[in-house]
Structure 1
Amino acid sequence: MSRKLSTPAAGKGRRTGRRSPAAAAALIAMGLLFTGGAYAAVSATTAAAETAPVATSASAVEEGSKLFQANCATCHGLQAEGSPDGPSLVGVGAAAVDFQVGTGRMPMQGHGPQAQKKPVQFTQDQIDQLAVYVGSTGPGPSIPDAKYLDADGDAANGAELFRINCAMCHNVAGSGGALTEGKFAPSLVGVTPTHLYEAMITGPQNMPVFNDMNISPEGKRDIITALKYQENMGNVGGIGLGSLGPVAEGLFIWIFGLGAIVALTVWITAKSN
Structure 2
Amino acid sequence: MTSSAARRRHPAALFALLFVGLLAVGSLYSVFMPSGSAQADTRPVTSKDVEAGHKLFLANCATCHGQQGQGTPAGPSLVGVGAASVDFQVGTGRMPLAAPGVQAKRNEVHYTDEQIKQMAAWVTTLGPGPGVPDEKYSSGVGGNPARGGEIYRVNCAMCHNFAGSGGALTRGKYAPPLKNIEGKHIYEAMLTGPQSMPVFNDTNLEPEAKRDVIAYLHELDKNENYGGHSLGNLGPVADGFFFWGIGIPLMIAAAVWLGRKAA
Per the TM alignment, residue 54 of structure 1 is displaced from its structure 2 partner at its CA by: 11
Q: Does residue 1:242 correspond to 2:232, yes or no?
A: yes
Which of 77, 88, 98 is the equivalent residue of 2:77? Answer: 88
Which of 199, 220, 236 is the equivalent residue of 1:230? Answer: 220
Gaps of 5+ in 1: 1-52
Per the TM alignment, residue 257 of structure 1 is displaced from its structure 2 partner at its CA by: 2.1
Could you tell me whether the CA contact under 8 Å between 2:139 and 2:184 is conserved in 1? no
Q: Deviations over 1:50-109 (max 9, x none)?
A: xxx998521111111111111111111111111121111010000000000011111112
Give TM-score scaled by structure 2 length: 0.80
For 1:233 and 1:168, how far apart are their aligned partners in 2?
A: 21
Query: Which residue number corresponds to residue 50 of structure 2?
Result: 61
Which of 121, 126, 135 is the equivalent residue of 2:115? Answer: 126
Query: Which residue number corresponds to residue 155 of structure 1?
Result: 145
Query: Which residue number corresponds to residue 135 of structure 2?
Result: 146
Query: Which residue number corresponds to residue 112 of structure 1?
Result: 101
Per the TM alignment, residue 240 of structure 1 is displaced from its structure 2 partner at its CA by: 1.1
Q: Where in structure 1 do 4 or more consecutive aligned residues deviate above 3 Å?
A: 53-56
**In the alignment, residue 202 of structure 1 is paired with which amino acid?**
T
Worse overlay, 132-141 or 191-200: 132-141
Per the TM alignment, residue 259 of structure 1 is displaced from its structure 2 partner at its CA by: 2.3
SS in 2 for 1:66: helix
Query: Which residue number corresponds to residue 70 of structure 1?
Result: 59
Per the TM alignment, residue 216 of structure 1 is displaced from its structure 2 partner at its CA by: 1.2
Q: Does residue 1:136 correspond to 2:125, yes or no?
A: yes
Q: Does residue 1:97 correspond to 2:86, yes or no?
A: yes
Query: Which residue number corresponds to residue 269 of structure 1?
Result: 259
Gaps of 5+ in 2: 1-41
Query: Which residue number corresponds to residue 173 of structure 1?
Result: 163
CA RMSD of aligned residues (A): 1.7
Q: Deviations over 1:204-223 (max 9, x none)?
A: 11111011122111111111
Which of 192, 196, 199 is the equivalent residue of 2:189? Answer: 199
Q: Does residue 1:215 correspond to 2:205, yes or no?
A: yes
Greater Rg by CA = 1
Bigger helix share: 1
Per the TM alignment, residue 142 of structure 1 is displaced from its structure 2 partner at its CA by: 0.5
Name the % identity. 55
Q: Deviations over 1:91-144 (max 9, x none)?
A: 000000000001111111232101122111111110111111111221111001
